[in-house]
């Protein structure tokens, strides 16, 4: 059932050496992973030079992730419809246009919509490249091996993109990052025109039968959730009309979409997809993980910049440590989980132990004038644990039947690459603001004119000192609650009995997939004819 012959990329012209061909594809993947609509590492620089708020830019960045997540459900249909050359050229042109728009527009709706479509084309191009070299990475199509490569590449590119963006913004302007990516995409187009041919190994299948309306509705639901999470604190949550409206609209669209999925033949996300344990359990656990790792957004940057006094270059330099954790985590998962077939339970316990260690390190180590080197260990543990759990959660989806597999990928991406990070940040940010107010009042209660130290400090310095101390106490308090949650999850995993290992996680061949899709299309035409 699975291809066992020698690996080749017939879409690349014959004069290109066969050993060089996969590395050309990998170079393409790196360029496409760098090619977002926005580069969130430069959010401060963008806020300073545009009329946009930080929330506006974050909303656009999350919209790109939503677009990427929705594309999973139709990836193979795109693979069978377009040649590699056509896909690469189309995606490159679309991403160039997206970068040009994002660089010049100050309109929030235009920015969000552009980034949404940029995410779609980014994911389409990435899948086209990764699917092309899948047999090179794992001749048996072992998904546990394949996903190790995917997460190593994707997460590494995220960290490297942040580094390049900050250095570019520091030495020049943030717009230069867009010009750099445009230049790389133009290079990809030239190489594609020169080295690729319009080769099609299988007859093309039409895009007939895709539930485009369902895709749009799921996108609107996720954007509404993101709007509430991103703008909640800014608009004072449900005291504002905007947040209430977004919640009501998102809920109505969700109910309508689920109702449609109950009777149409090919819904974008079938209701059956949500019933698999391999889908709903990782979905819930991802929300927990995003809450546990949420300090990486509101806490760490505020602590590093506001208390430790690090500039943007010092903060972003820690990405090298995060990158090291990703590489080590992916390598460890490959040799233990993919090769030796360690249990899902074992890998989950190790990952959650690493995340717990990250939280405990900050809880006990947070203080004034902390050396930057001290942060290496917790940041390493955070990325090490996350990449392990992400690979395991992706691999477990292989237990889902093929007809729902790619829909399951989209469902998981709704939280892992969509609203999960925004939800965790919103919850923790709101909790931090509440804790700050409480602790500032408690600390300020002891300051009066009777205190001999108060008279020696100016009002401004005194206020700043109280706020800093309140921030430190509040972060430590919330880290403590997160540790309790992590320890509870770890205890549940330890007592839970499971011997499931990543056996039989082989992906079907393209030919068997094509037969399945062709059969479904034939049945659709028969139903239309009889109807």
Q: What does the alpha-carbon distance between residue 528 and residue 526 come to, in Å, rounded to a whole number? A: 5
Radius of gyration over alpha carbons of the chain, in Å?
A: 24
In a domain, 336, yes or no: yes
pLDDT at 10: 85
pLDDT over 50 (residue 515): yes
Q: Are 11 and 199 within 8 A, CB to CB?
A: yes
> Are both 126 and 109 inside the same structural domain?
yes
SS3 assignment, position 506: strand
In a domain, 508, yes or no: no
In a domain, 8, yes or no: no
In a domain, 509, yes or no: no
Start-to-end Cα distance in the chain: 36
For 122-173, how does the pLDDT look when each residue is reduced to its tens digit (9 = 90+)?
A: 999 998 888 888 888 888 878 888 889 888 988 888 888 888 888 888 787 8
For 494-512, how does the pLDDT look when each residue is reduced to its tens digit (9 = 90+)?
A: 888 777 877 776 666 666 6
pLDDT at 436: 81
In a domain, 454, yes or no: yes
Average pLDDT over every residue of 388-393:
90
How distant, in Å, are the alpha carbons of 158, 321, 358, 371, 378 from that of 375?
20, 9, 10, 8, 6
Q: 469-473, 479-483, 512-516: lowest mean pLDDT where?
A: 512-516
pLDDT at 527: 64
> Are both 298 and 447 inside the same structural domain?
yes
> Are both 368 and 463 inside the same structural domain?
yes
DSSP3 helix / strand / coil % (the chain, rounded to 5) = 80, 0, 20
Q: 12-16, 23-27, 486-490, 527-531: lowest mean pLDDT where?
A: 527-531
pLDDT at 3: 47
pLDDT at 249: 95
> Are both 58 and 153 inside the same structural domain?
yes
Structural domain containing residue 150: 13-204
Residues linked to residue 142 through DSSP beta bridges, in sequence order: 506
For 176-197, how does the pLDDT look when each residue is reduced to its tens digit (9 = 90+)?
A: 888 999 999 999 999 999 998 8
- Within 8 A by CB and 6+ apart from 337, the residues are 144, 148, 347, 388, 391, 392, 395, 502
> Are both 278 and 368 inside the same structural domain?
yes
pLDDT over 50 (residue 4): no
User: Could you say which of 178, 204, 230 is where a domain stops?
Assistant: 204
For 268-314, how does the pLDDT look when each residue is reduced to its tens digit (9 = 90+)?
A: 999 999 999 889 988 998 899 989 988 877 777 777 777 777 777 77
- Mean of the per-residue pLDDT values of the chain: 84
> Are both 295 and 153 inside the same structural domain?
no
Q: 105-109, 150-154, 207-211, 265-269: lowest mean pLDDT where?
A: 207-211
Q: Are 293 and 355 within 8 A, CB to CB?
A: yes
- Within 8 A by CB and 6+ apart from 164, the residues are 34, 177, 180
> Are both 59 and 162 inside the same structural domain?
yes
Binned at pLDDT 50, 70 and 90, residue 2 comes out as very low
pTM: 0.87
Average pLDDT over every residue of 360-380:
84
DSSP string, 289-312: HHHHTGGGTHHHHHIIIIIS---H
> Are both 50 and 93 inside the same structural domain?
yes
Residue with tokens 């940041």: 379
> Are both 198 and 230 inside the same structural domain?
no
In a domain, 2, yes or no: no
509: exposed, middle or buried (Cβ count in 10 Å: 0-12, 13-18, 19+): middle
User: Could you say which of 189, 204, 219 is where a domain stops?
Assistant: 204
> Are both 258 and 313 inside the same structural domain?
no
Give the total number of structural domains in the chain.
Answer: 3
pLDDT at 197: 87
For 107-134, how does the pLDDT look when each residue is reduced to its tens digit (9 = 90+)?
A: 889 999 999 999 999 999 998 888 888 8
Binned at pLDDT 50, 70 and 90, residue 1 comes out as very low
User: Could you say which of 204, 226, 245 is where a domain stops?
Assistant: 204
- In terms of average pLDDT, the best of 50-59, 135-144, 331-340 is 331-340
Average pLDDT over every residue of 354-376:
85
301-339 burial, b at 16+ Cβ within 10 Å, e below that, comes to eebbeebbebebeebbebbebbbbbbbebbebbbebbbe
- In terms of average pLDDT, the best of 78-82, 406-410, 472-476 is 406-410
67: exposed, middle or buried (Cβ count in 10 Å: 0-12, 13-18, 19+): buried
pLDDT over 90 (residue 227): yes
pLDDT at 524: 62
pLDDT at 453: 57
In a domain, 511, yes or no: no
pLDDT over 70 (residue 459): no
For 233-261, how does the pLDDT look when each residue is reduced to its tens digit (9 = 90+)?
A: 888 888 899 999 999 999 999 999 999 98
> Are both 34 and 75 inside the same structural domain?
yes
pLDDT over 80 (residue 36): no
Query: What letter would DSSP give residue 142?
Result: B
pLDDT over 80 (residue 41): no
In a domain, 512, yes or no: no
> Are both 192 and 234 inside the same structural domain?
no
Question: For position 30, which CATH number holds?
Answer: 1.20.1250.20
Query: What letter would DSSP give residue 19?
Result: T
Q: Are 509 and 4 within 8 A, CB to CB?
A: no
Query: What letter would DSSP give residue 51?
Result: S
Tell me what percent of the residues of the chain surpass a pLDDT of 70.
89
Q: What does the alpha-carbon distance between residue 381 and residue 312 come to, in Å, rounded to a whole number? A: 22
Show the tokens assigned to 499. 């011997």
Q: Are 288 and 488 within 8 A, CB to CB?
A: no
For 408-447, how does the pLDDT look when each residue is reduced to its tens digit (9 = 90+)?
A: 989 988 888 778 888 888 888 888 888 888 877 776 666 5
């Amino acid at each position: 059932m699975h291809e066992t012959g020698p690996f080749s990329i017939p879409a690349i012209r014959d004069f290109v050496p066969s050993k060089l061909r996969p590395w050309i594809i990998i170079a393409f993947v790196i360029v496409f992973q760098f090619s977002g609509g926005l580069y969130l590492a430069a959010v401060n620089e963008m806020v300073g030079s545009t009329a946009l708020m930080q929330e506006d830019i974050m909303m656009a960045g999350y919209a790109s992730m939503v677009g990427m997540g929705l594309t999973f459900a139709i990836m193979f249909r795109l693979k069978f419809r377009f040649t590699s050359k056509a896909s690469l050229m189309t995606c490159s042109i679309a991403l160039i246009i997206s970068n040009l728009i994002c660089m010049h527009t100050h309109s929030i709706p235009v920015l969000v919509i552009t980034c949404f479509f940029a995410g779609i084309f980014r994911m389409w191009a990435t899948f086209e490249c990764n699917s092309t070299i899948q047999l090179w990475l794992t001749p048996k199509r072992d998904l546990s091996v394949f996903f190790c490569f995917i997460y190593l590449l994707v997460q590494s590119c995220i960290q490297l993109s942040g580094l390049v963006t900050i250095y570019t913004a520091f030495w020049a302007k943030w717009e230069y990052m867009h010009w750099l990516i445009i230049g790389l995409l133009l290079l990809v187009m030239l190489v594609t025109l020169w080295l690729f041919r319009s080769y099609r190994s299988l007859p093309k299948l039409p895009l007939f039968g895709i539930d485009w309306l369902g895709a749009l509705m799921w996108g609107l639901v996720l954007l509404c959730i993101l709007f509430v999470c991103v703008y909640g604190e800014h608009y004072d949550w449900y005291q504002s009309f905007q947040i209430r409206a977004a919640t009501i609209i998102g809920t109505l669209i969700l109910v309508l979409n689920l109702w449609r999925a109950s009777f149409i033949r090919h819904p974008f996300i079938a209701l059956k997809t949500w019933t698999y344990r391999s889908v709903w359990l990782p979905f819930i656990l991802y929300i927990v993980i995003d809450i546990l790792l949420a300090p990486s957004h509101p806490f760490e940057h505020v602590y590093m910049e506001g208390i430790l006094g690090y500039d943007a270059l010092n903060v972003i330099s820690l990405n090298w440590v995060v990158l090291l954790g990703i590489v080590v985590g992916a390598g460890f998962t490959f040799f233990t989980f993919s090769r030796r077939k360690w249990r899902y339970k074992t890998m989950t316990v190790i990952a959650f132990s690493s995340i717990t260690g990250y939280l405990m390190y900050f809880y006990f180590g947070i203080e004034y004038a902390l050396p930057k080197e001290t942060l290496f260990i917790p940041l390493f543990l955070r990325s090490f644990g996350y990449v392990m759990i992400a690979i395991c959660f992706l691999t477990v989806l292989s237990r889902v039947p093929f007809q729902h597999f790619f829909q399951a990928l989209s469902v998981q991406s709704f939280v892992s690459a969509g609203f999960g990070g925004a939800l965790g940040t919103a919850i923790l940010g709101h909790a931090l603001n509440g804790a700050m107010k409480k602790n500032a009042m408690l600390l300020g209660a002891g300051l009066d004119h009777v205190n001999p130290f108060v008279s020696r400090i100016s009002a401004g310095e005194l206020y700043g000192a109280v706020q800093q101390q309140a921030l430190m106490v509040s972060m430590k308090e919330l880290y403590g609650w997160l540790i309790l949650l992590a320890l509870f999850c770890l205890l549940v995993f330890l007592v839970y009995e499971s011997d499931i290992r990543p056996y039989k996680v082989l992906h079907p061949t393209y030919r068997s997939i094509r037969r399945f899709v062709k059969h479904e299309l034939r049945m659709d035409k028969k139903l239309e004819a009889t109807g």
